[in-house]
Amino acid sequence: MAVGSVLVTGGTGYIGSFTAVALIEGGYKVVIVDNLFNSSDEVLNRIQLLTGTRPAFYGLDITDEAALDKVFAENPDIDNVIHFAALKAVGESGEIPLQYYHVNVYGSLCLLKSMQKHNVTNIVFSSSATVYGDATRFPDMIPIPEHCPIGPTNVYGRTKSTVEGMITDYVTAERNRATKAGESPNRFNGALLRYFNPAGAHPSGIMGEDPQGVPYNLLPLLAQVAVGKREKLLVFGDDYASKDGTAIRDYIHILDLAKGHLMALNYLREKSPGVRAWNLGTGLGSTVFDMVKAFGAACGKDLKYEVAPRRDGDVLNLTANPARANEELGWKAEHTLEDACADLWRWTENNPQGYRQQPPAELLDA
């Protein structure tokens, strides 16, 4: 019998698919909703291959509250939500802000309203380190702890901080209402998970990130250079105050990130903390040049790059202080940067068309 049942929005996406695997392995029943805007339903086959279980799937848009209502009505055992579905390209968010507010904020509102109607009271939310904005304005807060004041510098980040506020207000109000009614307030909980830079793929080589269109993030771009889809990497700025002049980020293996969701959900259910934010990062900073070197070593190639001007909105250093997640959730990133690069390379080499093509049979049989 399942320990609980989880609705995973955006569950066929990159982080959602790995989290679905972690949840199933952790004993949960998983129901996925996703409109497949940036993912493929082939992911469901891969989840089944890895876990032996195929999650239920609903192809729907989270801004369709009536469709969400139907999912909760058809699955009355759902008692938790992990909410990934969102648009996530920082640059694009400044070009089409209303679309970002519609999906990320209005979509989250529809989800919370539907949860309220169906008495579903635990939510784990995909937030982002981007809510901290330029944390270097607080030099004594690097690596960044959760009490660092937030101050997003782009539309995407503002949608995330808005939803953090919405969940906090909603859970607080429900707890107050329950207390006044003489009920236990403890059922209402929210985890705000602030991810740093997700990296890597499944060590099996059958699950990974398959961005539609032009990738935006460093590692998928480096992978394209490695397979010859892109001539070189543009390194955005070598005049930062770091050891080699390039910007510092905290790259966290996708398996560790996925496990963080399982542990956060378990914590909500066991400890009823109300709303709590946790950084999910390694605490280790790597520069862009560190990454070029690490991924080059993983794929055995000399990766071509050229230094270009800084990218608008980029900051010098986003490195997590993960002590709160380490201590409270008992969670710690276990995989190394080398693991992430090796796993990403295995995925890239074996899946040149992402999920649009089957990987070599020996991987599927393994």
| Residue ranges in contact with ligand NAD by CB under 6 A | 10, 12-16, 34-39, 61-63, 84-88, 103, 107, 126, 128, 195, 198, 217
Please pick, among 156, 195, 251, 267, the residue that the annotation labels catalytic. 156
The set of residues, in sequence order, having a beta carbon less than 8 Å from that of 254 and lying 6+ positions away, is: 14, 15, 18, 198, 199, 200, 201, 202, 209, 340
What is the identity of the amino acid at 167?
I
Q: What, of ligand WQD, ligand NAD, none, does residue 247 touch, CB below 5 to 8 Å by kind? A: ligand WQD
> Is 253 strand, coil or helix?
strand
Task: State yes or no: is 156 an active-site residue.
Answer: yes
Stretch that binds ligand WQD, among 100-108, 205-213, 216-224, 323-331 (CB under 6 A): 216-224
> In what helix (H) or strand (E) does residue 6 lie, and over which residues does it extend?
strand 4-9
Residue count of the chain, please give it. Answer: 366
In angstroms, rounded to a whole number, what is the distance separating the alpha carbons of residues 33 and 282? 29
Question: Is residue 217 within the footprint of ligand WQD (CB under 6 A)?
Answer: yes
Closest separation in Å from C-beta 33 to ligand NAD? 6
Residues 80-139 within binding reach of ligand WQD (CB under 6 A) = 88, 90, 128, 130
Question: Is residue 197 within the footprint of ligand WQD (CB under 6 A)?
Answer: yes
Q: What, of ligand NAD, ligand WQD, none, does residue 13 touch, CB below 5 to 8 Å by kind? A: ligand NAD
Beta strands (DSSP E) in the chain are 4-9, 28-34, 56-59, 80-83, 122-128, 189-195, 197-199, 233-236, 248-249, 251-253, 275-280, 286-287, 305-308, 317-318
List the end-to-end C-alpha distance of the chain, in Å, as a whole number.
27
| Closer by beta carbon to ligand NAD, 32 or else 329 | 32
Closest separation in Å from C-beta 233 to ligand WQD? 6
Beta-strand pair 248-249/286-287: antiparallel
Give the residue numbers annotated as catalytic, written as ranges: 156
The footprint of ligand WQD (CB under 6 A) covers 88, 90, 128, 130, 197, 216-218, 221, 233-236, 247, 249, 288, 311, 314, 318
